[in-house]
Structure 1
């Protein structure tokens, strides 16, 4: 695949449906924020297109003309694509691991979530960048779709439980922002988990999302029980399932020519 300029919004719907929850909203997020990359099998009248952001790739179109060399730039990502792409992906990478995923949308009233008196739940601001940095490498994925901690803190799309000393204890943010839905992501520092402060952050974020006229959505692994439980307690209900694939390194050249 070769990197291309952002497509015209009118052309986006051809490849990635709009106003729907799930991985296709990555295209809307990248188009709106400029954070991410666009790909195609050729620069003019492509038969295959892809969008990537924060280690996720959505691949659409026709796989007939794809070669391992064309797919090589997508190595190391989690790729969501129709089943017709699996032979091409399997031939291009040394590993293709399926991950079953679940899509939820906010449909019910969240359970009550009280926080300690010493904790304040509020929107993150640019001045909180250092506090987001301080969450460390384990939380680096959370800000990846906003270009890193400065982008997340300044996005206006993140709510955090803050200690009096300015430490972030938990944060919920819009991970991918679509035109109809906003996908929610959450991180809680290990020593404050199971204290319902994540639920308080999610509830505040969801109220913010709905005030923008959007529907909160949730995307998690089928096997992530903690995420599924938090989603349920926050009022999310299951609407769909899909599979994406963790792809490894490009197949070595000698194997391609063997």
Structure 2
């Protein structure tokens, strides 16, 4: 695969359905936010196209056009692709791990809970970038789709619960589409079970509805806290699907194996650990 510059992209309507919920919204998010990267099997009249952002990849097109190691650039990524890409993924990596996912869409309006005394829930502003950066290192996934804390803070698409100058919880648009906004949220471990995430998510959902968009929510099937929060915040399940966590690029010298199925280890991305609510 070769990387494409934005001015080299083919018409995207042929490749990605407009107005899609969930992770599929990243195809619209990347050009709008200026984050992420585009890849194709060739620059002129590509037969396979990929868009990658924040450790997630969408693959479309004809996998028969790919060389055996063409997808190796997407190691340690979550890949969402039609099943016809599975042989190509299997040949590119030492293992691919199927990960069951659940897609929710916001359907039931929910009243925002009152924050505890001393806590303020408000929209993030550019000056909040240092407070976001001060969160634990394992929360970098939270703002990865915006290129970092400054990008998220400046986007106008995040809400946070603050105690003094400290961020206690955050909810934000993760992938911003033309119809759906797929959201993410996080609560600092010491401040869980205080309904702070629910307060942030509710405020964000009202904000998204005010833009004429619909919030969506994706999480692992095994992430029960995330599923419970989604339901409480008014989201309802609309689809179940599978994406694939890729391993290391497969060795081509006869010393390795390719495409072995595996069971997921603790994943560090977006809601597949107990800490993030994604």
Q: Which of the five TM-score ranges fits, normalised by the shorter chain?
A: over 0.9
Q: Check if 1:130 corresponds to 2:124.
A: no
Call closer, same or farther: CA 1:255–1:143 in 2, change over 3 Å: same
Q: Give the structure 2 partner of residue 38 of structure 1.
A: 38
User: TM-score w.r.t. structure 1 length?
Assistant: 0.95
CA RMSD of aligned residues (A): 1.7
* Aligned-partner SS, 2:52: strand
Q: Please, which runs of 5 or more residues in structure 1 have no aligned partner?
A: none
Report the alpha carbon displacement of residue 112 of structure 1 after superposing the two structures with TM: 4.7
Q: CA deviation at 1:10?
A: 8.0
Q: Residues 132 and 54 from structure 1, CA distance in 2 versus in 1: closer, same or farther, beyond 3 angstroms?
A: same
How far apart are 1:242 and its partner, in Å? 1.0
The Cα of 1:206 is off from its aligned counterpart by: 0.6
Distance 1:203 1:82 in 2: 33
> Which position in structure 2 is the counterpart of 1:100?
100
Equivalent residues of 1:26, 1:178 under 8 A apart? yes
Flag the 1:63–1:256 CA change in 2: closer, same or farther, 3 A: farther
Contact 1:160 1:168 in 2 (8 A): yes
How far apart are the structure 2 equivalents of 1:175 and 1:257?
36
SS at the partner of 1:253?
Answer: coil
SS in 2 for 1:213: coil
Partner of 1:252: 251
**Normalized against structure 2, the TM-score is what?**
0.89
State the distance in 2 between where 1:226 and 1:173 align: 18
* Count of matched residue positions in the alignment of Structure 1 and Structure 2: 257
Range with greater deviation from structure 2 (4-13 or 172-181)? 4-13
Unaligned runs of 5+ in 2: 258-278
Instruction: Give, in angstroms, the shift of residue 62 of structure 1.
Output: 0.8
1:163-202 counterparts in 2 under 5 A? Answer: 163-164=163-164, 166-202=165-201
Matched, 1:238 2:271: no
Q: Which stretches of structure 1, 4 residues or more, deviate above 3 A after TM superposition?
A: 7-10, 255-258
Stretch moving more, 129-138 or 248-257: 248-257
Q: In the alignment, what sits opposite 2:220?
A: 221
Once the 2 structures are TM-superposed, how far is the Cα of residue 253 of structure 1 from its aligned partner? 2.5
SS of the equivalent of 2:65 reads coil
